[in-house]
Amino acid sequence: MNDSLGTTGLILNEPLLWEKGKKGRCGFSLPKRDVDVSPLDPGLVGEGPDFPDLSEVDVVRHYTRLSQWNFGVDTGMYPLGSCTMKYNPKTNERQAGLAGFTGTHPLAPDALSQGALQILFELEQYLVEITGMDAATLQPAAGAQGELAGMLLIHAWHRKKGSQRTRIIVPDTAHGTNPASVALCGYRPVAVASNEQGILSAEAVATVMDEDTAGIMITNPNTLGLFEENILDIAEVVHSKGGLVYCDGANMNAVMGVVQMGKIGVDVMHLNLHKTFSTPHGGGGPGSGPVCVKKELEPFLPVPRVVKRDDKYALEENRPDSIGRLQTFYGNVGVMLKAYSYIRTMGAEGLKKASQLAVLNANYIKEKLRNTLHLAYDRPCMHECVFSDRYQAPHHVTTLDMAKRLMDYGYHPPTVYFPLVVPGAIMMEPTETESKEDIDTYIEAFKAIVQEAQENPDLLHDAPHKCKVRRLDETTAARKPCLAG
């Protein structure tokens, strides 16, 4: 590989603002004071450091320089598997930023919120149609809270039937938050292993499914990037014992517009609007994790519910079987507006095409790197593919070494060491928004790194070489974090 995106250039160091500031500097001018000075109570100020005195140019350059250290999906390819870090059309940001939305107060009466309520109502209907379910709530603030809401709905359903079940089946190919959501709701997660094909078998589920098990929490497509082909048979096993099927829909980017989960045995599922439906993912959020359910679970959805009566929209609280509120107000509405805009601009065919391209791109990478990296499961994948470092082990080069070296070539590393069922896992998700040219350059970079691993493994052990910061001591950082401001 002769040319790479990774390079060096004018990268400026930047001190802390407290080091940068000088007494007397000011970045703005206040009008002449017409009231007497009234100093703050020392008891309110505390013993912490005062705010630094900075000029306007100090502030602008500080944040500009910090932004130039960042790498994001607007900068280049972000192949994080299981995260769906795709480029999102900026028009959706514009719609969500309209003054009529940003200026709406959450305590405004329904009569003054008809536009926003209509969009929330219609978004629920779109998500119901896409998933093949019967009803939805937009309240959960993220996928993990959506998972918890789903578990609470299952618990409420069993409680209404007079059943006190204690277990939930969780496959080894589930998302990492699934067992935590199960435990947080008071259930005991029961692990079940996937088969040699990387998917779950109905027989394996049948061995652990009993009358004390409330249901199964299955990620589909799973974290190996494979579609759970036996989902109909699995659902039949679970339903025959009185359980419910929960689907973690965080990987919906592979099947939206193609598969309706409600028609293949799923009773409740969450979606990640910040993965699949146009909100930038990462940076701490905000996210949104709507939950879609079949009609028998609708009475238990959280309040308030957005309802339509006589062409008017309202928030309804009177739902006696509801699991209650998940948030103070209704959810992260800005994220929902972006999702609404995305769905409306894409249309049914556009959403289906996005899924098809995501799957095509992942399979293209899988085929192009199949002889370069060890392929954990040699079969068609969905939106992501999983390799390992088995071929590099004789050269004492690890997955982490290759991921760090990839940064020198100008790419954010893929997900590493997950899923846990693949030792030394390298999980790649190119997403539908990457062109063939960009994917080819990424493939060439990985092939070059593998060649380096054979010829000069020490080069990888010390990588990255061109980044602002060299390889960090992650073990010490985790065990002895520096939390000083």
DSSP result, 223-254: TTS---TTHHHHHHHHHHTT-EEEEEETTGGG
Q: Report yes or no: 417 and 378 within 8 Å, Cβ to Cβ.
A: no
Q: Is the pLDDT of residue 49 over 70?
A: no
pLDDT of residue 484: 63
pLDDT of residue 257: 95
pLDDT of residue 83: 87
Q: Is the pLDDT of residue 45 over 70?
A: no
Which three-class secondary structure state does DSSP give residue 460? helix
How distant, in Å, are the alpha carbons of 73, 204, 240, 280, 374 from that of 382?
21, 23, 29, 21, 18
For the four alpha carbons of 318, 319, 324 and 330, in that order, the dihedral sign comes to negative
pLDDT of residue 47: 59
For the four alpha carbons of 432, 433, 437 and 440, in that order, the dihedral sign comes to negative
Across the chain, what does the average pLDDT equal?
92
Q: Is the pLDDT of residue 184 over 80?
A: yes
Q: Is the pLDDT of residue 485 over 60?
A: no
Arithmetic mean of pLDDT, 319-325: 96
Which three-class secondary structure state does DSSP give residue 17? helix
pLDDT of residue 268: 98
pLDDT of residue 450: 98
pLDDT of residue 74: 86
Q: Is the pLDDT of residue 176 over 90?
A: no
pLDDT of residue 475: 87
pLDDT of residue 407: 94
Q: Is the pLDDT of residue 383 over 80?
A: yes
Percentage of the chain exceeding pLDDT 90: 77
pLDDT of residue 483: 75
Q: Report yes or no: 266 and 235 within 8 Å, Cβ to Cβ.
A: yes
β-bridge mates for residue 246, sequence order: 217, 268
pLDDT of residue 73: 86
Q: Which two tokens stand for residue 316?
A: 């309804």
Which three-class secondary structure state does DSSP give residue 364? helix
Ramachandran region, residue 483 (left: φ > 0; alpha: ψ -120 to 50; beta: rest): alpha
pLDDT of residue 43: 64
**Per-residue confidence band for 387, with pLDDT thresholds at 50, 70 and 90:** very high
Please name the residue that has the structure tokens 């705010």: 51
- Of 7-16, 44-53, 212-221, 303-312, the poorest mean pLDDT is in 44-53
pLDDT of residue 285: 65
Which structural domains are found in the chain, ordered by start? Answer: 91-345 (3.40.640.10), 354-472 (3.90.1150.10)
SS (H, E, C) 369-390: HCCCCEECCCCCCCCCEEEECH
Please give the model's pTM, rounded to 2 decimal places.
Answer: 0.90
Percentage of the chain exceeding pLDDT 70: 96
With CA atoms as reference, report the closest residue to 427 among 194, 86, 79: 79
pLDDT of residue 251: 95
β-bridge mates for residue 189, sequence order: 168
Q: Is the pLDDT of residue 27 over 60?
A: yes
Q: Is the pLDDT of residue 389 over 80?
A: yes
Please name the residue that has the structure tokens 């119901």: 128
- Of 40-49, 223-232, 355-364, the poorest mean pLDDT is in 40-49
How distant, in Å, are the alpha carbons of 93, 364, 367, 427 from that of 274?
12, 25, 29, 19
Q: Which two tokens stand for residue 146?
A: 């959506």
Cβ within 8 Å of residue 3, ≥6 positions away: none
Q: Is the pLDDT of residue 230 over 60?
A: yes
Arithmetic mean of pLDDT, 224-235: 97
d(CA 111, CA 109): 5
Cβ within 8 Å of residue 385, ≥6 positions away: 81, 225, 362, 363, 365, 366, 375, 427, 428
Q: Report yes or no: 254 and 130 within 8 Å, Cβ to Cβ.
A: no
For 401-449, the pLDDT digits (tens) are 999 999 999 999 999 999 999 999 999 999 999 999 999 999 999 999 9
d(CA 172, CA 291): 23
pLDDT of residue 115: 95
pLDDT of residue 38: 80
Q: Is the pLDDT of residue 198 over 90?
A: yes
Which three-class secondary structure state does DSSP give residue 335? helix
HSE on the CB side for 252, CA within 13 Å? Answer: 28
For 75-115, the pLDDT digits (tens) are 899 999 988 999 989 999 999 999 999 998 989 999 999 99
Cβ within 8 Å of residue 179, ≥6 positions away: 170, 189
Q: Which amino acid is at 391?
A: Y
pLDDT of residue 39: 77
Q: Report yes or no: 335 and 327 within 8 Å, Cβ to Cβ.
A: no
Arithmetic mean of pLDDT, 291-311: 96
Q: Is the pLDDT of residue 28 over 90?
A: no
| Rg of the chain taking only CA atoms, in angstroms | 25
- Of 51-55, 157-161, 280-284, 347-351, the poorest mean pLDDT is in 280-284
pLDDT of residue 271: 97
- Of 57-71, 177-191, 430-444, the poorest mean pLDDT is in 57-71
Q: Is the pLDDT of residue 480 over 60?
A: yes
